[in-house]
A and B are shown apart, each in its own frame.
Chain A
Amino acid sequence: MFSAFEFSIRTPANGGYGWDNYLWAIREQDFFHYIIRSGWLAALTVLITLIVLVPTMTWLHLSKSTIRPFVDGISLLPLVIPVVAFAVGAQITFPEFVQNTVLELPFLYFVLALPYAYRTLDIGLNSIPLKTITEAARSAGANWWRTISTVIIPVIKSAVVGTVAITFALSLGEYTLTVLLHWDTFPTWVTYVAQENILGAIAISMMSLIIPVMVLTAVTLVAPGRSTQGRK
Protein backbone atom coordinates (compact mmCIF):
# COMPACT_ATOMS: atom_id res chain seq x y z
CA MET A 1 0.00 0.00 0.00
CA PHE A 2 2.69 2.42 0.92
CA SER A 3 4.77 1.59 -2.12
CA ALA A 4 2.29 3.40 -4.31
CA PHE A 5 2.84 6.49 -2.26
CA GLU A 6 6.52 6.15 -2.46
CA PHE A 7 6.51 5.84 -6.19
CA SER A 8 4.24 8.75 -6.71
CA ILE A 9 6.57 10.89 -4.72
CA ARG A 10 9.22 10.44 -7.30
CA THR A 11 7.03 11.04 -10.25
CA PRO A 12 6.06 14.60 -9.62
CA ALA A 13 9.68 15.37 -9.59
CA ASN A 14 9.78 13.98 -13.15
CA GLY A 15 9.68 16.73 -15.75
CA GLY A 16 13.18 17.82 -14.82
CA TYR A 17 13.52 15.64 -11.73
CA GLY A 18 13.28 18.58 -9.51
CA TRP A 19 10.59 20.16 -7.44
CA ASP A 20 9.51 22.01 -10.55
CA ASN A 21 6.04 20.71 -10.53
CA TYR A 22 5.45 21.69 -6.99
CA LEU A 23 6.79 25.12 -7.59
CA TRP A 24 4.65 25.53 -10.64
CA ALA A 25 1.64 24.52 -8.72
CA ILE A 26 2.27 26.98 -5.97
CA ARG A 27 2.96 29.76 -8.37
CA GLU A 28 -0.28 29.23 -10.22
CA GLN A 29 -2.37 32.00 -8.86
CA ASP A 30 -5.46 29.88 -8.99
CA PHE A 31 -3.88 27.42 -6.60
CA PHE A 32 -4.20 29.63 -3.59
CA HIS A 33 -7.43 31.04 -4.78
CA TYR A 34 -9.03 27.64 -4.83
CA ILE A 35 -7.44 26.43 -1.67
CA ILE A 36 -8.71 29.45 0.12
CA ARG A 37 -12.10 29.00 -1.41
CA SER A 38 -12.37 25.41 -0.36
CA GLY A 39 -10.90 26.22 2.99
CA TRP A 40 -13.42 28.94 3.46
CA LEU A 41 -16.31 26.67 2.55
CA ALA A 42 -15.01 23.97 4.81
CA ALA A 43 -14.63 26.44 7.64
CA LEU A 44 -18.21 27.58 7.18
CA THR A 45 -19.37 24.00 7.29
CA VAL A 46 -17.49 23.43 10.49
CA LEU A 47 -18.97 26.59 11.91
CA ILE A 48 -22.47 25.45 11.11
CA THR A 49 -21.70 22.13 12.68
CA LEU A 50 -20.42 23.66 15.85
CA ILE A 51 -23.14 26.25 16.22
CA VAL A 52 -26.05 24.04 15.36
CA LEU A 53 -25.01 20.53 16.23
CA VAL A 54 -23.22 20.92 19.52
CA PRO A 55 -25.92 22.82 21.42
CA THR A 56 -28.68 20.71 19.92
CA MET A 57 -27.00 17.47 20.85
CA THR A 58 -26.16 18.74 24.30
CA TRP A 59 -29.81 19.54 24.79
CA LEU A 60 -30.88 16.17 23.43
CA HIS A 61 -28.61 14.36 25.82
CA LEU A 62 -29.62 16.45 28.79
CA SER A 63 -33.34 16.58 28.36
CA LYS A 64 -33.88 12.93 27.47
CA SER A 65 -36.31 14.22 24.93
CA THR A 66 -38.61 11.76 23.23
CA ILE A 67 -37.50 12.87 19.82
CA ARG A 68 -33.96 11.82 20.45
CA PRO A 69 -34.25 8.40 18.78
CA PHE A 70 -35.83 10.17 15.87
CA VAL A 71 -32.95 12.57 15.50
CA ASP A 72 -30.48 9.74 16.01
CA GLY A 73 -32.09 7.94 13.13
CA ILE A 74 -32.30 10.93 10.86
CA SER A 75 -28.64 11.71 11.40
CA LEU A 76 -27.83 8.40 9.80
CA LEU A 77 -29.92 8.93 6.68
CA PRO A 78 -27.24 10.69 4.64
CA LEU A 79 -25.26 7.49 4.82
CA VAL A 80 -28.01 5.65 3.05
CA ILE A 81 -28.30 8.04 0.15
CA PRO A 82 -25.51 7.92 -2.39
CA VAL A 83 -24.04 11.35 -2.95
CA VAL A 84 -24.69 11.16 -6.66
CA ALA A 85 -28.37 10.64 -6.17
CA PHE A 86 -28.43 13.41 -3.63
CA ALA A 87 -26.75 15.70 -6.10
CA VAL A 88 -29.52 15.09 -8.57
CA GLY A 89 -32.10 15.91 -5.97
CA ALA A 90 -30.23 18.99 -4.88
CA GLN A 91 -29.93 20.29 -8.37
CA ILE A 92 -33.63 20.30 -9.00
CA THR A 93 -34.70 21.56 -5.65
CA PHE A 94 -33.06 24.77 -4.79
CA PRO A 95 -34.21 27.92 -6.44
CA GLU A 96 -31.69 30.04 -8.23
CA PHE A 97 -31.06 32.55 -5.55
CA VAL A 98 -29.97 29.88 -3.13
CA GLN A 99 -27.85 28.09 -5.66
CA ASN A 100 -25.86 31.11 -6.52
CA THR A 101 -24.87 32.11 -3.08
CA VAL A 102 -22.04 30.64 -1.17
CA LEU A 103 -24.52 29.54 1.43
CA GLU A 104 -25.71 26.47 -0.38
CA LEU A 105 -22.58 24.36 -0.25
CA PRO A 106 -21.70 24.57 3.45
CA PHE A 107 -25.17 23.45 4.42
CA LEU A 108 -25.02 20.58 1.97
CA TYR A 109 -21.58 19.59 3.19
CA PHE A 110 -22.95 19.77 6.70
CA VAL A 111 -25.64 17.26 5.83
CA LEU A 112 -23.11 14.98 4.18
CA ALA A 113 -20.82 15.06 7.19
CA LEU A 114 -23.68 14.72 9.64
CA PRO A 115 -23.54 10.94 10.23
CA TYR A 116 -19.89 11.11 11.18
CA ALA A 117 -20.07 14.33 13.12
CA TYR A 118 -23.16 13.22 15.00
CA ARG A 119 -21.71 9.90 15.97
CA THR A 120 -18.43 11.41 17.16
CA LEU A 121 -20.21 13.98 19.29
CA ASP A 122 -22.64 11.38 20.55
CA ILE A 123 -19.85 9.18 21.82
CA GLY A 124 -18.12 12.17 23.37
CA LEU A 125 -21.22 13.38 25.17
CA ASN A 126 -21.95 9.90 26.44
CA SER A 127 -18.55 9.56 27.99
CA ILE A 128 -18.86 12.48 30.38
CA PRO A 129 -21.14 13.10 33.36
CA LEU A 130 -23.03 15.66 31.35
CA LYS A 131 -25.92 16.31 33.65
CA THR A 132 -23.68 16.87 36.64
CA ILE A 133 -21.30 19.35 35.11
CA THR A 134 -24.07 21.27 33.41
CA GLU A 135 -25.89 21.65 36.67
CA ALA A 136 -22.68 22.68 38.35
CA ALA A 137 -22.03 25.33 35.73
CA ARG A 138 -25.58 26.61 35.73
CA SER A 139 -25.76 26.82 39.49
CA ALA A 140 -22.53 28.78 39.42
CA GLY A 141 -24.31 31.30 37.24
CA ALA A 142 -23.42 30.54 33.63
CA ASN A 143 -26.07 30.97 30.97
CA TRP A 144 -26.50 28.36 28.27
CA TRP A 145 -24.02 29.68 25.74
CA ARG A 146 -21.30 30.20 28.29
CA THR A 147 -21.91 26.80 29.73
CA ILE A 148 -21.47 25.17 26.40
CA SER A 149 -18.45 27.10 25.31
CA THR A 150 -16.51 27.22 28.52
CA VAL A 151 -17.46 23.98 30.17
CA ILE A 152 -18.82 21.41 27.82
CA ILE A 153 -16.68 21.88 24.77
CA PRO A 154 -13.39 21.67 26.66
CA VAL A 155 -14.56 18.53 28.41
CA ILE A 156 -15.37 16.74 25.21
CA LYS A 157 -12.45 18.31 23.45
CA SER A 158 -11.27 15.20 21.70
CA ALA A 159 -14.73 14.49 20.34
CA VAL A 160 -15.04 18.06 19.14
CA VAL A 161 -11.63 17.96 17.52
CA GLY A 162 -12.56 14.73 15.82
CA THR A 163 -15.79 16.22 14.57
CA VAL A 164 -14.08 19.32 13.28
CA ALA A 165 -11.41 17.23 11.60
CA ILE A 166 -13.77 14.95 9.84
CA THR A 167 -16.14 17.71 8.79
CA PHE A 168 -13.30 19.81 7.51
CA ALA A 169 -11.67 16.94 5.63
CA LEU A 170 -14.91 15.92 4.08
CA SER A 171 -15.78 19.43 2.97
CA LEU A 172 -12.36 20.05 1.52
CA GLY A 173 -12.32 16.88 -0.46
CA GLU A 174 -15.91 16.80 -1.50
CA TYR A 175 -15.93 16.40 -5.22
CA THR A 176 -19.03 14.61 -6.34
CA LEU A 177 -21.67 16.96 -5.12
CA THR A 178 -19.63 20.00 -5.91
CA VAL A 179 -18.91 19.16 -9.49
CA LEU A 180 -22.38 17.95 -10.24
CA LEU A 181 -23.80 21.19 -9.03
CA HIS A 182 -21.31 23.04 -11.17
CA TRP A 183 -19.42 24.70 -8.39
CA ASP A 184 -15.70 25.30 -8.48
CA THR A 185 -13.68 24.32 -5.52
CA PHE A 186 -10.27 22.89 -4.97
CA PRO A 187 -11.00 19.28 -5.93
CA THR A 188 -12.83 20.23 -9.08
CA TRP A 189 -10.09 22.62 -10.07
CA VAL A 190 -7.50 19.91 -9.66
CA THR A 191 -9.28 17.62 -12.09
CA TYR A 192 -9.52 20.50 -14.48
CA VAL A 193 -5.83 21.18 -14.19
CA ALA A 194 -5.11 17.52 -14.77
CA GLN A 195 -6.33 17.78 -18.29
CA GLU A 196 -3.54 20.14 -19.16
CA ASN A 197 -0.82 19.38 -16.73
CA ILE A 198 -1.06 15.94 -15.29
CA LEU A 199 2.17 16.17 -13.41
CA GLY A 200 1.14 19.36 -11.78
CA ALA A 201 -2.12 17.77 -10.79
CA ILE A 202 -0.24 14.93 -9.26
CA ALA A 203 1.93 17.29 -7.32
CA ILE A 204 -1.12 19.03 -6.00
CA SER A 205 -2.77 15.76 -5.08
CA MET A 206 0.31 14.69 -3.20
CA MET A 207 0.19 17.83 -1.17
CA SER A 208 -3.50 17.57 -0.50
CA LEU A 209 -3.04 14.09 0.87
CA ILE A 210 0.21 14.45 2.74
CA ILE A 211 -0.43 17.73 4.46
CA PRO A 212 -3.68 16.80 6.21
CA VAL A 213 -2.16 13.49 7.21
CA MET A 214 0.84 15.21 8.69
CA VAL A 215 -1.23 17.81 10.47
CA LEU A 216 -3.67 15.34 11.89
CA THR A 217 -0.92 12.96 12.89
CA ALA A 218 0.88 15.75 14.67
CA VAL A 219 -2.30 16.77 16.44
CA THR A 220 -3.11 13.26 17.56
CA LEU A 221 0.40 12.61 18.75
CA VAL A 222 0.47 15.78 20.75
CA ALA A 223 -3.03 15.62 22.14
CA PRO A 224 -3.70 13.76 25.39
CA GLY A 225 -4.57 10.17 24.74
CA ARG A 226 -7.96 8.69 25.21
CA SER A 227 -8.09 5.77 27.61
CA THR A 228 -7.39 2.40 26.14
CA GLN A 229 -7.52 -1.11 27.61
CA GLY A 230 -4.60 -0.79 29.95
CA ARG A 231 -3.17 -3.29 32.33
CA LYS A 232 -4.98 -3.94 35.55
Chain B
Amino acid sequence: MSSKSLTLKNISKRFGNVNALDNFNLEVGVGELVALLGPSGCGKTTALRVVAGLEHQDSGSVLVGDLDISQTPAHKRNMGMVFQAYSLFPNLTVEENVAFGLQMRKVNKSVRLKKAHQLLDLVGLDSQSKRFTHELSGGQQQRVALARAIAFEPEILLLDEPLSALDAQVRINLREEIRRLQLSLGTTTLFVTHDQEEAMAISDRVGVMNNGVLEQIDTPDALYNKPASSFVASFVGTMNRIPAHITDGMVEIFGSKIVALKRGNESGQVHALIRPESISVAATTAQGNAKVLTRSFMGASSNIICQTEDGTIVQSLMTSASTGDLLPGSSVQLRVLSSEVLVANV
Protein backbone atom coordinates (compact mmCIF):
# COMPACT_ATOMS: atom_id res chain seq x y z
CA MET B 1 0.00 0.00 0.00
CA SER B 2 1.65 3.23 -1.02
CA SER B 3 1.72 6.11 1.35
CA LYS B 4 -0.57 9.09 1.15
CA SER B 5 -0.37 12.66 2.33
CA LEU B 6 -1.73 13.77 5.69
CA THR B 7 -3.65 16.97 6.26
CA LEU B 8 -5.01 18.53 9.43
CA LYS B 9 -7.49 21.29 8.76
CA ASN B 10 -8.52 23.79 11.42
CA ILE B 11 -8.33 21.31 14.25
CA SER B 12 -9.44 22.63 17.61
CA LYS B 13 -9.54 20.69 20.85
CA ARG B 14 -10.23 21.78 24.39
CA PHE B 15 -9.63 19.89 27.61
CA GLY B 16 -11.66 21.47 30.35
CA ASN B 17 -10.82 25.13 29.97
CA VAL B 18 -7.47 24.60 28.29
CA ASN B 19 -7.15 25.04 24.55
CA ALA B 20 -4.90 22.19 23.59
CA LEU B 21 -5.19 22.93 19.89
CA ASP B 22 -6.39 26.17 18.39
CA ASN B 23 -7.25 26.12 14.70
CA PHE B 24 -4.34 23.92 13.97
CA ASN B 25 -3.35 23.35 10.35
CA LEU B 26 -0.71 21.01 9.06
CA GLU B 27 0.16 19.29 5.80
CA VAL B 28 2.54 16.41 5.54
CA GLY B 29 3.51 15.44 2.00
CA VAL B 30 3.73 11.88 0.75
CA GLY B 31 6.82 10.19 2.15
CA GLU B 32 7.74 13.21 4.23
CA LEU B 33 8.89 13.03 7.85
CA VAL B 34 7.57 16.01 9.72
CA ALA B 35 8.36 16.55 13.38
CA LEU B 36 6.17 18.43 15.82
CA LEU B 37 8.44 20.05 18.33
CA GLY B 38 7.60 21.97 21.44
CA PRO B 39 7.59 22.03 25.23
CA SER B 40 5.22 19.91 27.35
CA GLY B 41 1.66 21.00 27.01
CA CYS B 42 2.09 22.71 23.65
CA GLY B 43 -0.43 20.43 21.99
CA LYS B 44 1.85 18.31 19.85
CA THR B 45 0.79 15.02 21.40
CA THR B 46 -2.85 16.04 21.19
CA ALA B 47 -2.45 16.73 17.49
CA LEU B 48 -0.93 13.29 16.97
CA ARG B 49 -3.64 11.56 18.94
CA VAL B 50 -6.32 13.36 16.97
CA VAL B 51 -4.73 12.05 13.78
CA ALA B 52 -4.66 8.54 15.27
CA GLY B 53 -8.26 8.77 16.31
CA LEU B 54 -7.45 8.30 19.99
CA GLU B 55 -8.80 11.78 20.72
CA HIS B 56 -11.75 13.28 18.97
CA GLN B 57 -11.37 16.82 17.74
CA ASP B 58 -13.95 19.43 18.71
CA SER B 59 -13.86 20.88 15.23
CA GLY B 60 -11.85 20.59 12.05
CA SER B 61 -10.98 17.61 9.89
CA VAL B 62 -8.25 15.10 9.24
CA LEU B 63 -7.56 13.94 5.71
CA VAL B 64 -5.46 11.12 4.41
CA GLY B 65 -4.82 11.78 0.78
CA ASP B 66 -8.18 13.16 -0.34
CA LEU B 67 -10.19 11.09 2.08
CA ASP B 68 -11.74 12.74 5.10
CA ILE B 69 -11.28 10.33 7.98
CA SER B 70 -12.41 12.65 10.75
CA GLN B 71 -15.23 10.38 11.77
CA THR B 72 -13.51 7.08 11.16
CA PRO B 73 -12.97 5.15 14.39
CA ALA B 74 -9.37 4.63 15.48
CA HIS B 75 -9.18 0.97 14.70
CA LYS B 76 -10.14 1.50 11.10
CA ARG B 77 -7.65 4.22 10.28
CA ASN B 78 -4.80 2.15 8.94
CA MET B 79 -2.05 4.10 10.66
CA GLY B 80 0.90 2.70 12.53
CA MET B 81 1.69 4.26 15.89
CA VAL B 82 4.66 3.97 18.20
CA PHE B 83 4.03 5.08 21.78
CA GLN B 84 6.53 6.45 24.24
CA ALA B 85 6.87 3.26 26.25
CA TYR B 86 5.12 0.19 27.62
CA SER B 87 2.98 -0.37 24.59
CA LEU B 88 3.93 -3.95 23.76
CA PHE B 89 1.38 -6.54 24.79
CA PRO B 90 2.88 -8.46 27.70
CA ASN B 91 1.00 -11.67 27.06
CA LEU B 92 2.26 -12.04 23.49
CA THR B 93 5.73 -12.91 22.31
CA VAL B 94 7.73 -10.42 20.31
CA GLU B 95 6.76 -11.99 17.02
CA GLU B 96 3.11 -12.19 17.99
CA ASN B 97 3.22 -8.53 18.92
CA VAL B 98 4.64 -7.57 15.57
CA ALA B 99 2.15 -9.79 13.75
CA PHE B 100 -0.80 -8.36 15.67
CA GLY B 101 -1.75 -5.72 13.12
CA LEU B 102 -1.79 -8.37 10.42
CA GLN B 103 -3.78 -10.69 12.65
CA MET B 104 -6.44 -8.01 13.01
CA ARG B 105 -6.54 -7.80 9.24
CA LYS B 106 -7.21 -11.51 9.07
CA VAL B 107 -3.91 -12.44 7.50
CA ASN B 108 -3.26 -16.12 7.86
CA LYS B 109 -0.91 -17.25 10.60
CA SER B 110 2.11 -18.49 8.72
CA VAL B 111 2.07 -15.51 6.39
CA ARG B 112 1.88 -12.98 9.16
CA LEU B 113 4.57 -14.64 11.26
CA LYS B 114 6.83 -14.71 8.25
CA LYS B 115 6.29 -10.99 7.71
CA ALA B 116 6.91 -10.40 11.40
CA HIS B 117 10.24 -12.14 11.14
CA GLN B 118 11.17 -10.06 8.11
CA LEU B 119 10.55 -6.90 10.04
CA LEU B 120 12.27 -8.10 13.17
CA ASP B 121 15.23 -8.89 11.01
CA LEU B 122 15.08 -5.36 9.64
CA VAL B 123 15.39 -3.95 13.15
CA GLY B 124 17.93 -6.53 14.15
CA LEU B 125 15.84 -8.44 16.65
CA ASP B 126 14.98 -11.65 14.85
CA SER B 127 16.78 -13.65 17.51
CA GLN B 128 14.42 -12.37 20.19
CA SER B 129 11.25 -13.27 18.37
CA LYS B 130 10.07 -15.82 20.88
CA ARG B 131 10.72 -13.70 23.94
CA PHE B 132 8.35 -11.62 25.99
CA THR B 133 8.35 -7.91 26.60
CA HIS B 134 9.76 -7.93 30.09
CA GLU B 135 12.84 -9.75 28.89
CA LEU B 136 13.87 -6.93 26.57
CA SER B 137 15.64 -3.65 27.20
CA GLY B 138 13.94 -0.31 26.58
CA GLY B 139 15.66 0.19 23.26
CA GLN B 140 14.78 -3.30 22.10
CA GLN B 141 11.17 -2.81 23.09
CA GLN B 142 10.89 0.34 21.03
CA ARG B 143 12.42 -1.37 18.02
CA VAL B 144 9.80 -4.10 18.35
CA ALA B 145 7.14 -1.41 18.66
CA LEU B 146 8.44 0.14 15.47
CA ALA B 147 8.38 -3.17 13.64
CA ARG B 148 4.85 -3.73 14.90
CA ALA B 149 3.70 -0.33 13.65
CA ILE B 150 4.94 -0.86 10.12
CA ALA B 151 4.17 -4.56 9.77
CA PHE B 152 0.86 -4.02 8.05
CA GLU B 153 2.25 -1.34 5.71
CA PRO B 154 0.21 1.57 7.01
CA GLU B 155 -0.30 4.69 4.95
CA ILE B 156 0.77 6.94 7.79
CA LEU B 157 3.29 6.39 10.56
CA LEU B 158 2.84 8.19 13.88
CA LEU B 159 5.54 8.41 16.54
CA ASP B 160 4.72 9.79 19.97
CA GLU B 161 8.02 10.69 21.65
CA PRO B 162 9.32 7.19 20.97
CA LEU B 163 12.80 7.94 22.23
CA SER B 164 12.08 10.00 25.33
CA ALA B 165 12.26 7.09 27.73
CA LEU B 166 15.61 5.80 26.46
CA ASP B 167 19.24 6.39 27.33
CA ALA B 168 21.12 9.06 25.40
CA GLN B 169 23.24 6.77 23.26
CA VAL B 170 20.37 4.43 22.46
CA ARG B 171 18.33 7.45 21.49
CA ILE B 172 20.85 8.62 18.94
CA ASN B 173 21.23 5.20 17.36
CA LEU B 174 17.53 4.52 17.24
CA ARG B 175 16.58 7.83 15.71
CA GLU B 176 18.91 7.15 12.79
CA GLU B 177 17.34 3.74 12.40
CA ILE B 178 13.87 5.22 12.39
CA ARG B 179 14.87 7.66 9.66
CA ARG B 180 16.49 4.96 7.56
CA LEU B 181 13.44 2.78 7.79
CA GLN B 182 11.11 5.63 7.02
CA LEU B 183 13.07 6.65 3.94
CA SER B 184 13.29 3.15 2.57
CA LEU B 185 9.57 2.55 3.05
CA GLY B 186 8.57 6.02 1.93
CA THR B 187 5.88 6.24 4.59
CA THR B 188 4.39 9.61 5.42
CA THR B 189 5.42 10.16 9.01
CA LEU B 190 4.47 12.49 11.85
CA PHE B 191 6.93 12.53 14.73
CA VAL B 192 6.32 14.23 18.04
CA THR B 193 9.16 15.18 20.38
CA HIS B 194 10.33 17.79 22.85
CA ASP B 195 13.98 17.23 21.98
CA GLN B 196 14.95 19.73 19.33
CA GLU B 197 18.21 18.05 18.46
CA GLU B 198 16.32 14.89 17.63
CA ALA B 199 13.75 16.71 15.52
CA MET B 200 16.34 18.65 13.58
CA ALA B 201 18.55 15.63 12.99
CA ILE B 202 16.10 13.42 11.14
CA SER B 203 13.19 15.47 9.83
CA ASP B 204 12.38 16.86 6.42
CA ARG B 205 10.51 19.67 8.09
CA VAL B 206 9.95 20.64 11.69
CA GLY B 207 6.90 22.36 13.11
CA VAL B 208 7.51 24.29 16.30
CA MET B 209 4.45 24.48 18.53
CA ASN B 210 3.59 26.58 21.53
CA ASN B 211 0.28 26.69 23.43
CA GLY B 212 -1.74 24.88 20.82
CA VAL B 213 -0.48 26.98 17.94
CA LEU B 214 2.00 26.15 15.20
CA GLU B 215 4.52 28.97 15.34
CA GLN B 216 6.65 27.99 12.39
CA ILE B 217 7.02 25.01 10.13
CA ASP B 218 10.13 24.85 7.96
CA THR B 219 13.23 22.88 7.17
CA PRO B 220 15.63 22.53 10.08
CA ASP B 221 17.99 24.89 8.34
CA ALA B 222 15.41 27.62 7.94
CA LEU B 223 14.21 27.24 11.49
CA TYR B 224 17.67 27.67 12.82
CA ASN B 225 18.73 30.56 10.69
CA LYS B 226 15.46 32.34 10.11
CA PRO B 227 13.31 31.83 13.21
CA ALA B 228 9.94 33.44 12.67
CA SER B 229 9.33 34.32 16.28
CA SER B 230 11.10 34.92 19.51
CA PHE B 231 9.87 31.63 20.83
CA VAL B 232 11.20 29.64 17.91
CA ALA B 233 14.48 31.48 18.08
CA SER B 234 15.07 30.48 21.70
CA PHE B 235 13.61 27.03 21.48
CA VAL B 236 15.68 25.90 18.54
CA GLY B 237 19.34 25.98 19.45
CA THR B 238 20.76 28.55 21.79
CA MET B 239 20.22 32.20 21.08
CA ASN B 240 21.81 35.29 22.55
CA ARG B 241 19.60 38.27 23.18
CA ILE B 242 21.58 41.44 23.22
CA PRO B 243 19.93 44.77 23.98
CA ALA B 244 20.43 47.30 21.21
CA HIS B 245 18.82 50.33 19.68
CA ILE B 246 17.65 50.53 16.09
CA THR B 247 18.76 53.66 14.28
CA ASP B 248 18.17 53.94 10.54
CA GLY B 249 17.65 50.27 10.19
CA MET B 250 20.95 49.43 11.89
CA VAL B 251 21.95 48.35 15.36
CA GLU B 252 25.25 48.86 17.05
CA ILE B 253 26.66 45.75 18.74
CA PHE B 254 30.07 45.60 20.32
CA GLY B 255 31.19 48.63 18.40
CA SER B 256 30.10 47.57 14.94
CA LYS B 257 27.07 48.73 13.05
CA ILE B 258 25.02 45.85 11.67
CA VAL B 259 21.92 45.67 9.50
CA ALA B 260 18.85 44.91 11.56
CA LEU B 261 16.51 42.40 9.92
CA LYS B 262 13.05 43.32 11.05
CA ARG B 263 10.15 40.94 10.71
CA GLY B 264 7.50 43.26 11.91
CA ASN B 265 7.30 46.63 13.54
CA GLU B 266 10.37 46.39 15.71
CA SER B 267 11.81 49.79 16.54
CA GLY B 268 13.59 51.65 19.25
CA GLN B 269 14.99 49.43 21.98
CA VAL B 270 15.10 45.81 20.83
CA HIS B 271 16.88 42.54 21.38
CA ALA B 272 19.32 41.47 18.73
CA LEU B 273 19.15 37.70 18.24
CA ILE B 274 22.62 36.28 17.62
CA ARG B 275 23.73 32.64 17.56
CA PRO B 276 26.74 31.77 19.72
CA GLU B 277 28.76 30.75 16.69
CA SER B 278 28.34 34.25 15.27
CA ILE B 279 30.11 35.87 18.20
CA SER B 280 33.84 35.74 18.59
CA VAL B 281 35.79 36.19 21.79
CA ALA B 282 39.33 37.40 21.80
CA ALA B 283 41.69 37.92 24.67
CA THR B 284 42.76 41.48 25.06
CA THR B 285 45.25 43.36 27.13
CA ALA B 286 43.17 46.50 26.86
CA GLN B 287 39.93 47.16 28.71
CA GLY B 288 37.80 44.92 26.52
CA ASN B 289 33.99 44.98 26.38
CA ALA B 290 33.30 41.90 28.51
CA LYS B 291 34.65 39.58 31.15
CA VAL B 292 34.74 35.78 30.90
CA LEU B 293 32.47 34.01 33.38
CA THR B 294 32.97 30.38 32.47
CA ARG B 295 34.43 28.23 29.76
CA SER B 296 32.94 24.81 28.93
CA PHE B 297 35.22 22.48 27.04
CA MET B 298 33.20 20.23 24.74
CA GLY B 299 35.95 18.62 22.71
CA ALA B 300 36.30 20.25 19.32
CA SER B 301 34.51 23.39 20.41
CA SER B 302 34.13 25.32 23.62
CA ASN B 303 31.34 27.40 25.01
CA ILE B 304 32.47 30.68 26.50
CA ILE B 305 30.04 32.59 28.66
CA CYS B 306 30.85 36.26 29.19
CA GLN B 307 29.23 39.21 30.79
CA THR B 308 29.21 42.68 29.28
CA GLU B 309 29.42 45.92 31.23
CA ASP B 310 25.68 46.39 31.27
CA GLY B 311 25.21 42.91 32.71
CA THR B 312 24.10 41.04 29.57
CA ILE B 313 25.19 37.44 29.49
CA VAL B 314 26.62 36.46 26.12
CA GLN B 315 27.39 32.95 24.95
CA SER B 316 29.97 32.25 22.30
CA LEU B 317 30.83 29.03 20.54
CA MET B 318 34.39 28.78 19.27
CA THR B 319 36.91 26.11 18.43
CA SER B 320 38.74 25.00 21.53
CA ALA B 321 42.07 25.77 19.93
CA SER B 322 41.31 29.47 19.69
CA THR B 323 40.07 29.80 23.23
CA GLY B 324 42.83 28.13 25.17
CA ASP B 325 43.88 31.08 27.21
CA LEU B 326 40.50 32.46 28.16
CA LEU B 327 40.27 32.05 31.90
CA PRO B 328 37.34 33.08 34.07
CA GLY B 329 37.72 36.72 35.00
CA SER B 330 39.88 37.73 32.08
CA SER B 331 38.97 40.69 29.95
CA VAL B 332 37.93 39.97 26.39
CA GLN B 333 36.75 41.69 23.28
CA LEU B 334 33.48 40.43 21.80
CA ARG B 335 32.70 40.90 18.14
CA VAL B 336 29.72 40.01 15.96
CA LEU B 337 30.71 38.03 12.91
CA SER B 338 27.64 38.49 10.71
CA SER B 339 26.64 41.55 8.79
CA GLU B 340 22.98 41.25 9.48
CA VAL B 341 21.12 40.24 12.57
CA LEU B 342 17.54 39.43 13.52
CA VAL B 343 15.83 41.66 16.00
CA ALA B 344 12.88 41.09 18.28
CA ASN B 345 10.85 43.35 20.48
CA VAL B 346 11.85 43.39 24.10
The A186-232 residues at the B interface (CB cut-off 8 A) are: 231-232
A-B pair count, CB < 8 Å, reads: 3
Assembly CA distance A232 to B49 (angstroms):
10
Q: Which residues of B sit under 8 angstroms from A231, Cβ to Cβ?
A: 15
B3 sits at the interface (CB 8 A): no
Report the minimal beta-carbon distance from A44 to chain B, rounded to whole angstroms: 43
Closest B residue to A231 by beta carbon equals B15
Interface size class, chain B: under 10
B315 sits at the interface (CB 8 A): no
Assembly CA distance A231 to B49 (angstroms):
12
Q: Which residues of A sit under 8 angstroms from B49, Cβ to Cβ?
A: 232
Assembly CA distance A232 to B41 (angstroms):
9
The chain B residues found within 8 Å of chain A, CB to CB, are 15, 45, 49
Assembly CA distance A232 to B45 (angstroms):
8
Q: Which residues of A sit under 8 angstroms from B45, Cβ to Cβ?
A: 232
| Interface size of A in residues (CB-CB distance below 8 Å) | 2
Q: Which residues of A sit under 8 angstroms from B15, Cβ to Cβ?
A: 231
Assembly CA distance A231 to B15 (angstroms):
10
Query: What are 3 A-B pairs at a CB distance below 8 A?
Result: A231-B15, A232-B45, A232-B49
Assembly CA distance A132 to B242 (angstroms):
42
Q: Which residues of B sit under 8 angstroms from A232, Cβ to Cβ?
A: 45, 49
The A145-187 residues at the B interface (CB cut-off 8 A) are: none
Closest A residue to B46 by beta carbon equals A232
Assembly CA distance A231 to B40 (angstroms):
13
Closest B residue to A232 by beta carbon equals B45
Assembly CA distance A39 to B15 (angstroms):
48
Report the minimal beta-carbon distance from A228 to chain B, rounded to whole angstroms: 16
Report the minimal beta-carbon distance from B212 to chain A, rounded to whole angstroms: 15
Closest A residue to B49 by beta carbon equals A232
Assembly CA distance A232 to B161 (angstroms):
12
Assembly CA distance A232 to B15 (angstroms):
11
Contact string, A116-146, partner B, CB cutoff 8 A, digits 1/0? 0000000000000000000000000000000
Report the minimal beta-carbon distance from A231 to chain B, rounded to whole angstroms: 7
Assembly CA distance A3 to B45 (angstroms):
46
Assembly CA distance A231 to B55 (angstroms):
11
Assembly CA distance A232 to B84 (angstroms):
11
Assembly CA distance A232 to B48 (angstroms):
12
Assembly CA distance A99 to B15 (angstroms):
63
Report the minimal beta-carbon distance from B45 to chain A, rounded to whole angstroms: 6
Report the minimal beta-carbon distance from B55 to chain A, rounded to whole angstroms: 10
Assembly CA distance A231 to B45 (angstroms):
11
Closest A residue to B83 by beta carbon equals A232
Report the minimal beta-carbon distance from A230 to chain B, rounded to whole angstroms: 11
- Report the 3 A-B pairs with minimum CB-CB distance, sorted nearest first: A232-B45, A231-B15, A232-B49
Assembly CA distance A231 to B18 (angstroms):
13
Assembly CA distance A232 to B40 (angstroms):
10
Assembly CA distance A205 to B89 (angstroms):
47
Report the minimal beta-carbon distance from B65 to chain A, rounded to whole angstroms: 28
Report the minimal beta-carbon distance from B52 to chain A, rounded to whole angstroms: 12
Assembly CA distance A231 to B13 (angstroms):
14
Report the minimal beta-carbon distance from A170 to chain B, rounded to whole angstroms: 34
Report the minimal beta-carbon distance from A232 to chain B, rounded to whole angstroms: 6
Closest A residue to B84 by beta carbon equals A232
Closest A residue to B54 by beta carbon equals A232
Report the minimal beta-carbon distance from A229 to chain B, rounded to whole angstroms: 12
